Structure 1
């Protein structure tokens, strides 16, 4: 088995293990945020080398992508603060240089909760203005039954992007790209041009139904548009790091896009017939996809409701 295939196999195996942890019986007894925090606090952060000096860290909330080298480290997402010690251990193994930049793909805690400690350690935090707006006030996600308090001053991103910005470091060109409203209203993607590695944040969940945050500007159509924008430039050689799930390739991204479109079109047709959300859920419009995509925290029923809200 090649190094690349071995890395992808290990990532998939670990992702399936995490799915079991996140979607097991304890989740019905705890809120999702408390359960995910508990898993992050006790779990290891595993490093998966991807290509050149780009790696993925898995185990602290969403997937984290790291560019390492003597110019400092560039992180895509900050993970959960309770994983700080495990994160520090994994980052130290990638070299002695400190973290110089952290790009938040969006505001959700499983991607941004580590901002404060990383900023205290010297990192500059990058985000969109919309992400900053959500982080700096109490923000409720009803589907998670959780209200997140405003972050402390150390956790507020200081660089706020509305257009593309390229960071040149460690022999790499890191392209930070603000997206139209998709998973939320303030998502970004990050492309490591020379390594040909794309970090998508939660606009892409590999092999599992995604969460879409309508309360904070997200929508199914924007999510599809974001994926379409990736498909215009990624190739069969591009390594794609999703927000959740195993490291992917273009074929898996295309399968995800096609699933989104199929479910969106089914739900939209039923809604336009005048059916209520409960009636649409009862028809099980996702059923052809559930065996593959419906085994994580976003159930077929919840995904149907999320799509219904956006069509």
Structure 2
């Protein structure tokens, strides 16, 4: 799939919003876009459908909500009619009330939207929702998948995570674009690698736990560092701070102990 990456400052240079919001726009097709407020990180879906304008996870940061609303109007010629969330965490859902105040309707699912297919999983949160827009061949998966951070499968454990990924892989076709909750979109090959690396991470933590290693000792294991590095798809210089590395191990240990 060919993507057209534009920047808000380039699209609307005369309006001056770029100085306050820096919202990037990735055009998937004539009626579908990924919006992202630079520095905030949540991938927002925007679809112009026969049912009306649909927003997925409309949270660009509190200070950018007015600019996002104006941008939507310029891209689609209207305001959001329907609001969907991949999950309820604030960095994805805190823009809901703003757009409800502009006339939008918060939907629990996409069952009444003819151009969007969805399914529910338990992985990152207790209720994760995945949305497939066939016209743009894009799949918005929320924080089941994150290309800017390590995996966070704590609600569903390994089983829930694996089922969620398999469900995503069944949608669309080999050319489908996978839009993570945060980070750059990828294809299905990268998503499968993410799953494989996550399972390798859990297996290694399980092995070292069985050897009687503490979280700190596990952190210092050479193989653990290699596996962690495989999640750094954006090649960040300082990918995971040491405290977050240890916390990831501790939370993985908690999942293992629960038998998930």
TM-score normalised according to structure 1 size: 0.67
Q: Structure with the greater relative contact order (CA < 8 A, sep ≥ 6): 1 or 2?
A: 1
Alignment of 1:303 onto 2:244: no
1:125 aligns with: 106
Deviation at 1:87, TM superposition (A): 0.9
Deviation at 1:228, TM superposition (A): 1.9
1:194 aligns with: 135
Deviation at 1:71, TM superposition (A): 4.1
Alignment of 1:288 onto 2:226: yes
Q: Distance in 2 between matches of 1:246 and 1:87?
A: 19
Deviation at 1:306, TM superposition (A): 2.8
Asked if the contact 2:139–2:179 (Cα under 8 Å) also holds between the matched residues in 1, the reply is yes
Of the candidates 81, 97, 105, which is equivalent to residue 100 of structure 1? 81
User: Which consecutive residues of structure 2, in runs of 5 or more, have no partner in the other structure?
Assistant: 8-18
May I ask how many residue pairs the two structures share in their alignment?
235
Q: Distance in 2 between matches of 1:251 and 1:207?
A: 17
Deviation readout 1:208-259 (Å, 9 max, x if unpaired): 41344x4xx3434422321122123343211111111111111111121111
Q: Distance in 2 between matches of 1:166 and 1:310?
A: 36
Cα distance 1:280–1:290, how it changes in 2: closer, same or farther (>3 A)? closer
User: Which consecutive residues of structure 1, in runs of 5 or more, have no partner in the other structure?
Assistant: 12-40, 127-158
Q: Distance in 2 between matches of 1:203 and 1:185?
A: 11
2:195 aligns with: 257
Q: What aligned pairs does 1:120-199 form with structure 2 within 5 A after superposition?
A: 120-126=101-107, 159=108, 165-168=111-114, 173-179=115-121, 181-199=122-140
- Could you say what the CA RMSD is over the residues aligned between the two structures, in angstroms? 2.7
1:64 aligns with: 44
2:184 aligns with: 246
SS in 2 for 1:99: coil
Q: What aligned pairs does 1:269-288 form with structure 2 within 5 A after superposition?
A: 269-283=207-221, 285-288=223-226
Q: What aligned pairs does 1:228-243 form with structure 2 within 5 A after superposition?
A: 228-243=166-181
Deviation at 1:43, TM superposition (A): 3.7
TM-score normalised according to structure 2 size: 0.79
Alignment of 1:48 onto 2:13: no
Answer 1 or 2: which has greater helix percent.
1
Structure 1 segments, 4+ long, off by >6 Å, are none
Q: Distance in 1 between matches of 2:51 and 2:103?
A: 13
Q: Distance in 1 between matches of 2:23 and 2:136?
A: 22
